[in-house]
Amino acid sequence: MGRRILKNRNLALLDIFYITILVVLGCFVILWVLNSKNYKVHAAGTVTYTALGDSISSGFGLTDQNKVWVLLYNGNLANDEGVSTDLNNLGVPSLSSTELLNKLKTDATFRSAVSAADFITVDTGTVDWFTARWNGCSSSACFDPMLATFKSNFDSIIAEIKAVNTKSNLYIAVMNLYNPYISVDTGYPERDRYLQLMNSYIATKSSALGFGLADVHKAFNGASGTENPVAKNYIQVDGLHPSETGHGVIADVFRRVDTDGDACADVKEIGPDYKLGGQRDYKNKWDFYSVPVPALIAAPDPTKAIKDSAVGAGDSQSVFAYFKVGAKAGSPEYEQDLNNNGIKDGLEYDRSIPPDHATKPWLSGPPDGAISAGDAQLAFGVFKSGGGNCNQLP
C-alpha cells in the first residue's frame, strides 16, 4: 500500500512538472516573438580573421595552398557562424617570435590587419625551438636563453596585439608546438623537455588571459606526448612542416577549441546566431546547459554518461532526476563524483536563471546550490528555444 502511494505521489510530481513546462514554454514562445527583432540585429555581418605565424601558417611546402590550415579554419568560421569572412594570412616562413614581435611593432601591414581583426590566431615559437635544435642544442646551457627570449617575446606579442586592437569582443586563439622529432631525438630528452616548457608557458598565459588554446601538440603527439606524427602522415617529407593531412588536423583543433569546457566550441559561442550556439560567452562555462545523460545517479555506468553539444529533453529529464532526490550543496548526491571527472555531480546539473533570460531564453546561469524543478524547466526551455544546439560540427 505504501509503495502504491509513493508511486502515485511520484506520478503526480511528474504531471506537475510537465504541466509547468508547458506553461513556461508558452511564456518563452511569447517572449521569443516579442524580442525576435532584437535577434535579427545580430544574425548577419562580416568578420575579419587575421592569422599571425610562421611557415606553418603560411603553408610552406604544400602543393595545394587551399589546404593550408588557416584557409580551412577561415572556411569553418564562415560555415559555423553563418557569416562572411575577410582573411589576412600573415604567416611568414622562418619567422621567429622576435621577428613577429618586430613586425607587429613596425610593419604597417601587420598593424592594420591586427587592428581590423575580430579573430586572431597566433602560431609562434617553432622557429625558436627548431633553430636551437638545428644548431645542435641538447642541454639547458643553450635552451635556457631561447626559452627566456621566447617567454618575453610571447608576452610582448600579446601586449602589442591588445594595444593595436582594443575591441572588447576580440577573439584570440594560440596554438602550441608539436614535436616532429619525438622518435628521432630519443637520446636528447632536453629537446622535448624545453618544447614542453614552451607549451606550458603558452597554456598558462592563455588560461590567465582568457585566450583559446589549440592543443596541436596533443593532436600530433598524443596525450602521452610520445606519439610520432610522422607515422600518422601528419608531416611532410622535410620532417618538420605539416602535410595536407596535418594542416587539416590543425584546422580542426582550432575549430574545436572549447575554452570554458561547456561542450559548446568557442567558434560557436562567439557567433551571432543563437540557433547555431552563438550569443554566448566562450569563457562562461555555465551559459550552455548541457549535462551528462542519462543522469549520473541513474546510469548503469556513470563514466559512460554523455555530455554532448546539444541541450535536449534528455538533459531536462536528467536534471529532474537530481531534483527528485533533493540534491543540494552538502548532500551526497550533490557532492559525489560518479563519473570521476573531478567535478561535483551537483555542479554538472545545477544552474540558475541569468538576468537577461527574458530576452535570451537559450542562456543559463551559474549554480545556486540546489537543483530544483525550475532548473529542469530551464533546461527544457533552452531546448525549446532552438538555442540549445552547438552540435553542427562534423
Residues 345 and 323 in one domain: yes
Residues 119 and 209 in one domain: yes
For residue 218, give the C-alpha cell. 596533443
Q: Beta partners for 47?
A: 85
pLDDT tens figures, 255-300: 999 999 999 999 999 888 888 889 999 999 999 999 999 999 999 9
Residues 78 and 226 in one domain: yes
Residues 138 and 173 in one domain: yes
Distance from C-alpha of 42 to C-alpha of 45, rounded to nearest angstrom: 8
pLDDT tens figures, 146-195: 999 999 999 999 999 999 999 998 999 999 999 999 999 999 999 999 99
pLDDT tens figures, 325-372: 999 999 999 999 999 999 999 999 999 999 999 999 999 999 999 999
Distance from C-alpha of 147 to C-alpha of 128, rounded to nearest angstrom: 8
Q: Tell me the residue range of the domain where 301 lies.
A: 2-41+283-385
* Radius of gyration of the chain from its Cα atoms, rounded to whole angstroms: 24
Residues 297 and 345 in one domain: yes
Residues 246 and 300 in one domain: no
Please report the pLDDT score of residue 392 as a whole number: 58
* pLDDT tops 90 at residue 27: no
Distance (Å) of CA 61 to CA 51, 241, 251, 386: 18, 7, 17, 44
Residue 249: CATH number of its domain:
3.40.50.1110
Please report the pLDDT score of residue 292 as a whole number: 96
- Domain annotation covers residue 261: no
Nearest to 171 by CA among 107, 249, 114: 114
For residue 341, give the C-alpha cell. 571527472
Mean per-residue pLDDT, 375-384: 95
Mean per-residue pLDDT, 293-318: 95
Residues 30 and 128 in one domain: no
* pLDDT tops 80 at residue 64: yes
Distance from C-alpha of 42 to C-alpha of 346, rounded to nearest angstrom: 34
Last residue of a domain, one of 200, 235, 255: 255
Please report the pLDDT score of residue 219 as a whole number: 98
Residues 130 and 225 in one domain: yes
- Domain annotation covers residue 273: no
Enumerate residues 6+ apart whose C-beta is below 8 A from 30: none
pTM of the model: 0.85
- Domain annotation covers residue 270: no
pLDDT tens figures, 12-23: 433 433 334 333
- Domain annotation covers residue 115: yes
Residues 111 and 243 in one domain: yes
262 or 8, greater pLDDT:
262
Q: Is residue 388 very low, low, confident or very high in pLDDT (cuts 50, 70, 90)?
A: confident
- The 3-state DSSP class for residue 1 equals coil
Residues 226 and 313 in one domain: no
Cell 618575453 found at: 152
Over the range 185-224, which residues count as b (16 or more CB within 10 Å of their CB) and which as e? Answer: beeeebbbebbbbbbebbbebbeeeebbbbbbbbbbbeee
Cell 613596425 found at: 106
Write the burial class of residue 335 (CB in 10 Å: 0-12 exposed, 13-18 middle, 19+ buried): middle
pLDDT tens figures, 69-91: 999 999 998 888 878 899 999 99
- Domain annotation covers residue 265: no
Residues 122 and 232 in one domain: yes
pLDDT tens figures, 221-242: 999 999 999 999 999 999 999 9
- Pure H helices in 244-312: 244-255, 266-269
* pLDDT tops 70 at residue 11: no
Dihedral over alpha carbons 71, 241, 245, 252 (to 10 degrees) = -50
- Domain annotation covers residue 68: yes
Q: Beta partners for 85?
A: 47
Residues 10 and 68 in one domain: no
Please report the pLDDT score of residue 394 as a whole number: 53
Other CB atoms within a 10 A radius of the CB of residue 24 amount to 17
